[in-house]
Structure 1
Amino acid sequence: MVEWVLSGFGDEIDDDPRVQLAVLQALGASHVEVRSAWGVNVADFDADLTTRLATVLTDRGMAVSAVASPIGKTDVYGDAEVELARLRAVITLAQRLESRYVRLFSFYRPPGVDVAATRDTVLRRLRAFADLAEREQVVLVHENEKDIYGDVPARVLDLIESVGSPALRVAWDNANFVQVGVRPFSDGYAMLRPYLEYLQVKDARFADGAVVPAGEGDGELPQTVTTLRDDGWTGFASLEPHLADPADPARTGPTGFGRAARAFAALTAGAGITMS
């Protein structure tokens, strides 16, 4: 029996981390992916907020799978030193929360700028991020967000291999690939599997780009899950449902999060994978 570790983006449930953790635990998760708490993004945490969150985690007996930073979700030609300083602060938070992983991105480009023209700048900035991560002994996991440099498999592979650091790996997101016209498993799995470190769980449809629960879209999640199982992959699978709560469209909410968790549980159970 293969065992993976279940986590989730707690701030999609509620602003209050106590509610986040209670819902995640009820769904069988042992970890949380921290993007914000009490309405404050991780890039803006201070020492007091960090201590408060660490206390809540300890009280609930929960651990952190990753700190989901917004680093690199900025203009590629913005201030490099400012973004590096922000990453340094996020890494300090991750260390305080005993998380090995920090999520980041590979930059947006200004309107009218061809993606190829940004390549050298992206690689230089990601290399600086990786150098810092190596020194601090954390692993940066790059998410394939729409419209950044690394939004399609070939460019994700380019940045991972060109930077060439063990501290920069892939956070695989099936839904995001669908939203840029990629068949995730068919078009990207084989080339990115050697660097796939972290799984972010959501699905999407080609027809309208809408995000749906795992297995209900065109993200080839059944193939991805079963092949990861056959490959012997073990690691964090983090629920990021992006299902709008009618009462609060800005977040998924507990009910929607439960729906997403049950869909993924059915998919993994059918593949003989245990979630812990």
Structure 2
Amino acid sequence: MNRTPANTLVLNPDELGPDPVPGMDLAVKLGIGHLEIRSAEGANAVTLPADRLRHIRARADERGLKVAALASPLWKWCRPEATPGRVDTFGFPTQVPPEARLGWIERAIEAASILGAPFVRIFSHLRVEPELTEQLPDDPLLAKALEAAATAGVRLLLENEPVCTVAHAEPLLQVLERYSGQGLGLWLDVANLHEVGQATRGTVKALAPYVAYVHVKDYQPTDGGGRSFCPAGEGMVPYGLVLPLLHAAHPALPYALETHVRDAPADALTAGAAFLRLAVPGGVA
């Protein structure tokens, strides 16, 4: 009898455009059963009204697809008087007054519940002027958000994002050790970890116990010192090192394809899915 892989593939429909249906259809074509919802219909998912979220959920249900996670922009923000750099929040404002933040947190948790998503991504405040940069461990909203998420039956996962305050291993571990008992987990972006020079054996092994969700993208260096995104497995991110370490700690993880490839994104997703099916120990469905 063939054993079904415990690991799962996840596809984000907005990689193909604002209409989620083509991405859903590609997921079906590739045999991917789970979706990550970040934006749809030209808007960030947390800003969509409930009826539009239910419509997205219905389109997924029709195809036998489940929503694995809501890739929310929570905490990828700063105070209105701060000056954020170039930040991609997929249609969500970067300057958010403190008094408005709890409402967005509640809205994201509600959106995840409507979509049937068990995980909600969060970040850790944008790095802005030093005197205006906020710190996630000291944010009283985090404990409130974790409590609200637990009540709703969803889990908050912190992504390691270089433009935010918690991207390196030491602060990541500090936050996760402090709040994991309240349900906080790690939304590990392997390419982001490599970008800050920490996709190493020791760092991955230290972070692995907290990982609940894995973002997979890849890139090649450009002559000007920048990055050119490419299908997973075709760039410089050391997945050959990282994936076995993650699998050793968690034989059942969702691996979400996030290509950022502008040209032929469907081809990039197809190639990335094929790569992960070969590269993840034990297989991935």
Is the TM-score greater than 0.5? yes
Q: How many residue pairs align between the two structures?
A: 264
Question: What is the CA distance between 1:72 and its match in structure 2?
Answer: 0.7
Judged with a 3 Å threshold, the aligned counterparts in structure 2 of structure 1 residues 242 and 113 are, in CA distance, closer, same or farther, namely farther
1:116-195 alignment runs, 5 A limit: 118=135, 120-122=137-139, 124-179=140-195, 181-186=196-201, 188-195=203-210
Judged with a 3 Å threshold, the aligned counterparts in structure 2 of structure 1 residues 204 and 126 are, in CA distance, closer, same or farther, namely farther
Q: 1:88 aligns with which of 101, 106, 128?
A: 106
Give the TM-score, by structure 1 length: 0.86
Question: What is the CA distance between 1:119 and its match in structure 2?
Answer: 5.5
CA distance in structure 2 between the aligned counterparts of 1:8 and 1:21, rounded to whole angstroms: 8
- Structure 1: any 5+ residue segments left out of the alignment? 246-254
Is the CA contact (8 Å cut-off) linking 1:13 and 1:257 kept in structure 2? yes
Q: Which shifted more, 161-170 or 50-59?
A: 161-170
> Per-residue displacement from partner, 1:108-150 (whole Å, max 9, x unpaired)?
13224496x735534x332232122122221111111112111
Question: What is the CA distance between 1:202 and its match in structure 2?
Answer: 0.8
In structure 2, the partner of 1:273 is 282
State yes or no: 1:29 paired with 2:42. no
Judged with a 3 Å threshold, the aligned counterparts in structure 2 of structure 1 residues 44 and 219 are, in CA distance, closer, same or farther, namely same
Judged with a 3 Å threshold, the aligned counterparts in structure 2 of structure 1 residues 164 and 81 are, in CA distance, closer, same or farther, namely farther
Say which SS state the counterpart of residue 67 (structure 2) adopts: strand
In structure 2, the partner of 1:248 is none
Q: 1:6 aligns with which of 9, 20, 24?
A: 9
In structure 2, the partner of 1:15 is 18
Q: 1:41 aligns with which of 17, 41, 44?
A: 44
Judged with a 3 Å threshold, the aligned counterparts in structure 2 of structure 1 residues 196 and 232 are, in CA distance, closer, same or farther, namely closer
Question: What is the CA distance between 1:45 and its match in structure 2?
Answer: 1.2
Structure having the higher helix fraction is: 1
Say which SS state the counterpart of residue 184 (structure 1) adopts: coil
Q: Which shifted more, 199-208 or 101-110?
A: 199-208
CA distance in structure 2 between the aligned counterparts of 1:22 and 1:195, rounded to whole angstroms: 32
- Structure 2: any 5+ residue segments left out of the alignment? 81-95
RMSD between superposed Cα atoms in Å: 2.3
Question: What is the CA distance between 1:214 and its match in structure 2?
Answer: 2.1
> Per-residue displacement from partner, 1:59-115 (whole Å, max 9, x unpaired)?
222110101111111016853342221121111111122111011111113224496
Say which SS state the counterpart of residue 210 (structure 1) adopts: strand
